[in-house]
Structure 1
Amino acid sequence: MTVLGIESSCDETAAAVVRGRPGAGGEILAEALLSQTAEHAPYGGVVPEIAARQHVRHIDHLVMEAMERAGVGYEALDAVAATAGPGLIGGVIVGLMTGKGIAAATGKPLVAVNHLEGHALSPRIAGNAPFPYLLLLVSGGHCQLLAVEGVGRYRRLGTTIDDAAGEAFDKTAKLLGLGYPGGPAVERAAREGDPAAIPLPRPLLDRPGCDLSFSGLKTAVRRARETHPDAPVADIAAGFQAAVVDVLVEKSRRAMAAFRALTGQAGRAGFVVAGGVAANGALREGLTALAAREGFDFVAPPLRLCTDNAAMIAWAGIERLALGLTDPLTVTPRARWPLDTDAPPAPGAGVKA
């Protein structure tokens, strides 16, 4: 199957054409992506209105560019897949309406993709993540541990009760004057610092379960900056990164035990890490070692597929299309869209579902 994917849920405008089939993997025929980093850098974070305007300005020519690079006509597509949520609603509307327009004009089926499912299924492009597997989805807006039993079948084992890890990286970078985007900036600074120089807390490690919290860690960084004004920024960055890694490794360890109990998987199983923060080298190192100790196979998408991209949306479209799952042109965009719709509300205010 050949599917055009469109992604516009945050600050990346992207289109991609992917060909493949579930279980056998896929080939990315072409990608076109425009980052908005320069537009948002002066504000230290994503400004929703600016993001939506940039999506409107660039999405049409990015779709055309992807199709031209792929060397296929619209008649060769089996479907059009577009992110329908969750995300910044202005951007989601732009991408979904573009996908609807192409589907209507070409008579091709529309697949409205959950952005989180795009991340969850992205390692399967390489054909190396058989169901079921444990997923750590860690990005700017989301931080969850889920048992992935199949397409559309997710069981949430833990979630952030306040901020996502990626948001904490961005806010910490802003507090330390490291610039935007925060994740790479903090990681670069941390390489030169001593993670033990300024002790920082590990939120919720003393509480049973797999839920996470990063709001208090951000506050601790701010206080460290105020109480240690002469401390090297690199030391605070290193301490923050080490705290995040420690929390995610321990919560993942607990989730591995819960996953085995839930699925009955006694032998080796897949441990998939996806989302923008999955590109962090220290985190990958810690989680790779954890997987080896606990008898899991560590699986992560290539670094370029960790951040928001349209190839994962096209692939999710292929996975859903293979099961006959398409959507009417009346489908609506959603700012929030949990993968596990049966999970109870997270015990915290303002959490991203």
Structure 2
Amino acid sequence: MTTTALNYESTRIAELMEVPAEAHDEQWLKDSLQQAIMLELATLPPYLCGLWSIKDPGESADAFAMVQEIVFDEMSHMGLACNMLTTIGGTPLLADEKLVPKYPGSLPGGVRPELSVSLSGLSKQSLDMYSQIEKPDDPIVEAREIHTSIGAFYTAILEAFRKHQNLIAGTRQVTRNMSSHGKGNDVVPLTSFDDVEKAVTTIKEQGEGTAASPDNPFPGAPGELAHFYSFREIFHGRKLIPVPGDPTKFDFQGDVIPMPQTFPMGTVPKGGWAQGPVAVPDEVRQLLDTFIQHYSSMLRFIEQAWQAATPAAASQLLNKAVGQMFQLQAPAQQLMQIPLPDNSGSTYGPEFRYVAAEA
């Protein structure tokens, strides 16, 4: 598989889901897992913008902790998806301008094509967007919709693995201890079908919950909900609890969850702030460049980690990727404190664009 055959803005997932199950062969599985990796990456920038826009995590402990745990879950999910691809001999691709998420725009591959995903600060509008990304096929609260969900895509991937267990070779598996963020958050080697099944179950149930409960079966803290329900709690400003008198039903009738005070980050325009109607100040351009360089380096190190010949080399490269990730917050929050020149009261924010390494 080459990057020339891939494009973030394609409808590849929708096309893959239309292929009859009996034709889900090795190449279908490799193509699907590459799309899954791109899908997991696509959730991180919007969630990070929301997290970083919270001014005082101490005063907004509930909301901050919820979003932070979800961010760590998504990082773990991307790592597990990479291990799924390498265990069958594939190679994850991330460090390419064609493959990185484009905002505002749809999720990759044609998942939820009616949903526009953008970069902005935490707000009722962005929380609704986050929960729509994570929405299961049949939520236990609010209306059901017919759509191609992330969970349905992973179910198809698992069934393809079930039919082709002989492909699981355990090659180039990367490990990362993330147990401090939840018992299901470690990136672990996938050397058998049971390992793959556990990984897919973790990804699905952390995001969507189960058909009977909104609980996250792999929590970082007692009582932690699946992503969809956590985002809806912050959106509604109330904890989700069983309905008095009918414990099989749930509603947002619990304790109040205050909406955090946030930096009023505006929505990044297509192609970045430079595509807006007003010239970008030098201070902003420098911060954007710093952020983009760290983000691009992070993606290159992640890609290289799953290409490494030895576990030690893979671990070292992943550590470098994490180091670059920790360099993102400071320029992002500095941007969030610089007002846009349109008198809207909104501020700049990070763009999450990819640039190639200098030769």
TM-score, reference length from structure 1: 0.26
In proportion to residue count, which structure has more strand? 1
Highest RCO, 1 vs 2 (Cα 8 Å, sep ≥ 6): 1
